[in-house]
Structure 1
Amino acid sequence: MLHLSTLNRRALFAALIAASFVVALPQVGQAQVVAFKQAVAEAASRDDGIAAFYRGRNFEPIWTGDSPQDLARREILLEALTMAGAHGLPVARYNADVLVAMMGNARTSRERGEVEVALSRAFIAYAHDIQSGILTPGKIVSGIKREVPLRDPVVTLTSITRGDPRTVMRALAPTSQEYVRLMKEKLLLERKAGQGGWGPEVIADKLEQGQSGAAVVALRNRLISMGYISRSASASFDAELRTAVMQFQTDHGLTADGVAGQNTLGEVNVSVVERLQSILVAMERERWMNLPEGLGKRHINVNLTDFTAQIIDDGKVTFETRAVVGAVPEDRETPEFSDVMEFMMVNPSWYVPRSIVVKEYLPKLRNDPGAVGHLQITDSSGRQVDRATGFAQYSASSFPFSMRQPPGPSNALGEVKFMFPNKYNIYLHDTPSKSLFEREVRAFSHGCIRLADPRDFAVALLAAQTSDPEGLFLSRLRTGKESRINLETPVPVHLIYRTAFTSAKGKTSYRRDIYGRDARIWSALSEAGVALPTQGS
């Protein structure tokens, strides 16, 4: 059996061409035609999509015929399967060596029919993985609520018969610039890992300008290897090194003070291979976002690990603000999903989620009916409940009331909330608690996303539909009354989780895995056969 992972490109094509001469033997007589088609029908019957495709073409071959087109398709398919590792896919999953062996051993029309379907099955598996991802995200992390787009296998198989096969094969992968830049970073990190990594780790508690010694040299050398500073033999923590440390801190979501403290040194000492894991996970996540309709000409991205919300127009960030996301206990973590923002509520009421009512407020009300007096307690008809009767008789399951905080300066949602109605009751909103936005890690909410600059965010959204967006917003705000402003063009919202992401200039940034989700995804990718190079520090 041929092991294609060890073949160079020339040997690969030699093997393919040799095999193709065998499988492309001309059919002789009607009996051979019938035998081939029966074999295709039987082999394809295990997969509804593949069976439907071959029925639609009267079981004619697309891979094992003797035409130049069939030859080109099978060569390009086997090349793609062999090179799947470039996309962070598990090469062994596609059994390219087994397929080549089947081709070489095929002697009868029936065997050729079995090879035909095996090639189609491999093509569909590869197309699925590179278009939509290897994993089913919700099975790995319950907090990922994303619906992964799946393609019709009949359409996929038909596409390889109607277009240039190389062009079709290349078009299977996500075409986003983010995916392309992640692939480039993957290659750079693999090369660096092959060279031994970024050098010795930095052993120190804290390094800052004015210091010197072996730890400073180690810090400088790692930043040189990472491309943050030009090569130098200096043993001093000088202004140039401080500038490099600040840029590193910016790229890793740290406070850019130029002092290499524990958080900074912890990120500096992350190995090349660990960063490569983040890239491979980000590529898988990008495949989950490979929507046929795209992310939206205008859309909103909230990267939970970066604690930011962005408005993106035509691929460019046109507005960005800091955000607070769900706290680390799993029942408060912000889920990942996509939806469409339809409107904003100015001077919103806060309708307290049931989970908060029974877990946080009911215990207080049972002890003191006057507790949490800033909230109204209402019955199913919306009438305010008399607190004097007390609440000691109610449990979490029997408490029949709702709770609401009216609009006002102390309202938990502040001046405005941005609505993309969803079953998770997640939305973006203002907050009267501004101090948390100064924190480096901003995971404090019950799951919703708080914005540091909600008024400017609202104005940026409304600018698409009015010549005076600020005037519109302020006119509603000054009434003090709850007011809805519809977005004339609804805006897709994507709540994402990326510990590795790129900029338009090609720079890659890294963030901490605050919920531990990427660690679980990497473990699943590794189990699926995604391979890493030799460990490098």
Structure 2
Amino acid sequence: MRAAPGWFAAALLALPAAGFAASGQPPDASAAAAWQAAITDAAADGLDPAAYQDAASLARDLSAGRLDPRSADPDWHIPRPEPVGNPGSGLLPDAVRPASADYARLREALRRYLAIRDSGGWPALPPGAPLRAGQRDPRVATLRERLRRSGDFDSEVGADPWFFDAALDRALRHFQQRVGLQASGFVDEPTFSALNTSVEQRIGRLAATLERWRWLPRQPGTEYVWINIATGMLEVIGPGGPQFAMRVIVGHPARPTPAMSGELRQVTFNPGWSVPRTIAVEDLLPREQEGPGFLAARGFHVIDARSGREVAPGSVPWERLGPDRFPYRLRQDPGPGNALGRIKIAWDNPYDIYLHDTPSKGLFDLNRRTLSSGCIRLQDAAALATLLLARDRDWDAADTAAATSRSNTQVLNLRRRLPVYVVYLTSWVDADGTVQFRKDIYGRDARLLAALGN
């Protein structure tokens, strides 16, 4: 992130009276003082105080983001809130910022990281052989100081600062967990890279996440589904808070899942799969060419795209087909081997993205789960289907089990739709203050930060 002069200094920026008077109503003294303080403290929102000369401009950026996501992140398709044109008389900064506790915790985390930066940052770990508990190495002292600066190590240093002791092992595992790595206690290459990510880069990630929060609707609803692409997690939020969570598999970087919102409207048990052309020609066609009979063995039907008639897979000259010559459509029968599993959950969107079950349950054990062609695979599709249907009609888990055990396809439209938000947030702060970071798997933060000029 760009280091602007005065970002963390206490220089007080004067607020021109015209910045408020544009509303036609002079603000009261308390509101004026609050906006003056907000401009001085704009760095905590990931914004540059030097860019703001009046309350109106800061109010606009706090209420709807500094940038329009349509240009800053073309893969973000969640409607942006209407910006506050002018704070008016008596309107305070906290009334236009996102009211979420997540946003407030991110601001406090950014304050801490700015303070770390201004105190000199953290040391880089020199390259060398992997480190683990029980070893003695001069780099251990650097590792300990690195983790102390970021708040991961808070124990007393032993008699030998070069010895990798149990306290340092705990600190390293804590660090690994909060940056999305396997908590192995072993300084391998991914851990070395994460340790040597600069505080400036971490500040940039926090600033990007704060900007994305400002793009989100202020009233998501009392009940909704929240899917974070960057974490590979789904949460169902109810009036009392999170109801349950599960792992998900999202799009591969070559076929990324877009950020979007909508309303879950339909549950299908034992769905068939109409294969998108990209998957047909890039994934399935090579498998059939390498091993004739692959499609037939997995219940795929081949449809002539011109006549609409089904043709026998054995009669198709697969070896002569390719991405530019594929006059067929593929459809897979319902069943336990179907790529969509036993359950599909749909909402209206122009990208043909939906939630679905999968027969490949072992993939949810992976730490990074960017494996799909854009759709979102559910670790426990039955639980989500049961929740959606139970709030819509007389339905329970036994009904879901019965529906999935049948061979016929059953489509149930929801009368009570549930909002869904698919977001891309690479950092957040737990309720206990632990700052979490995840990899920018699609490079979207990098593009956003470049647009922000950081």
2:269–2:403 CA contact under 8 A, matched in 1: yes
1:206–1:259 CA contact under 8 A, matched in 2: yes
Q: Where do residues 324-335 of structure 1 align in structure 2 (5 Å cutoff)?
A: 324-329=249-254, 332-335=255-258
Which of residues 145, 152, 168 is equivalent to 1:241? 168
Determine the C-alpha separation between the residues in 2 that align with 1:70 and 1:196. Answer: 40
2:151 maps to which residue? 227
2:270–2:335 CA contact under 8 A, matched in 1: yes
Question: Going by fraction, where is strand more abundant, 1 or 2?
Answer: 2
Q: Where do residues 85-484 of structure 1 align in structure 2 (5 Å cutoff)?
A: 85-94=43-52, 96=53, 123-151=55-83, 153=85, 157=86, 160-161=88-89, 164-165=90-91, 167=92, 169-234=93-158, 235-289=162-216, 291-292=217-218, 294-314=219-239, 316-329=241-254, 332-361=255-284, 372-373=295-296, 374-378=299-303, 383-387=309-313, 390=316, 401-465=328-392, 469-484=396-411
Please give the secondary structure, in 1, of the residue aligned with 2:295.
Answer: coil
Please give the secondary structure, in 2, of the residue aligned with 1:310.
Answer: strand
Asked if 1:84 is matched to 2:42, the reply is yes
TM-aligned CA distance change 1:338 to 1:213, over 3 Å: same
Percent identity of equivalent pairs: 32
TM-score (ref. length: structure 2)? 0.85
Q: Tell me how far 1:434 sits from its aligned partner.
A: 2.6
TM-aligned CA distance change 1:205 to 1:349, over 3 Å: farther
Q: Tell me how far 1:488 sits from its aligned partner.
A: 4.4
1:228–1:248 CA contact under 8 A, matched in 2: yes
Matched letter for residue 348 of structure 1:
P
1:431–1:451 CA contact under 8 A, matched in 2: yes
Residues 101-152 of structure 1: CA deviation (Å, up to 9, x unaligned): xxxxxxxxxxxxxxxxxxxxx5543322111111222323332223212247
Q: Tell me how far 1:390 sits from its aligned partner.
A: 3.5
Higher-Rg member (1/2):
1
1:365–1:391 CA contact under 8 A, matched in 2: no
Determine the C-alpha separation between the residues in 2 that align with 1:220 and 1:387. Answer: 62
Superposition CA RMSD, Å: 3.3
Please give the secondary structure, in 2, of the residue aligned with 1:342.
Answer: strand
Matched letter for residue 134 of structure 2:
G
2:84–2:96 CA contact under 8 A, matched in 1: no
Question: Structure 1: where are the runs of 5+ without partners?
Answer: 24-39, 41-49, 54-60, 64-68, 97-121, 531-537
Please give the secondary structure, in 1, of the residue aligned with 2:131.
Answer: coil
Residues 327-373 of structure 1: CA deviation (Å, up to 9, x unaligned): 122xx111111111112211111111132234444577799996622
Question: Structure 2: where are the runs of 5+ without partners?
Answer: none
TM-aligned CA distance change 1:446 to 1:137, over 3 Å: same
1:62 maps to which residue? 25
Matched letter for residue 490 of structure 1:
R
Determine the C-alpha separation between the residues in 1 that align with 2:137 and 2:9. Answer: 48
Which of residues 420, 444, 447 is equivalent to 1:517? 444
2:179–2:436 CA contact under 8 A, matched in 1: yes
**Paired positions, count:** 441
TM-aligned CA distance change 1:249 to 1:487, over 3 Å: farther
TM-score (ref. length: structure 1)? 0.73
Question: Going by fraction, where is helix more abundant, 1 or 2?
Answer: 1
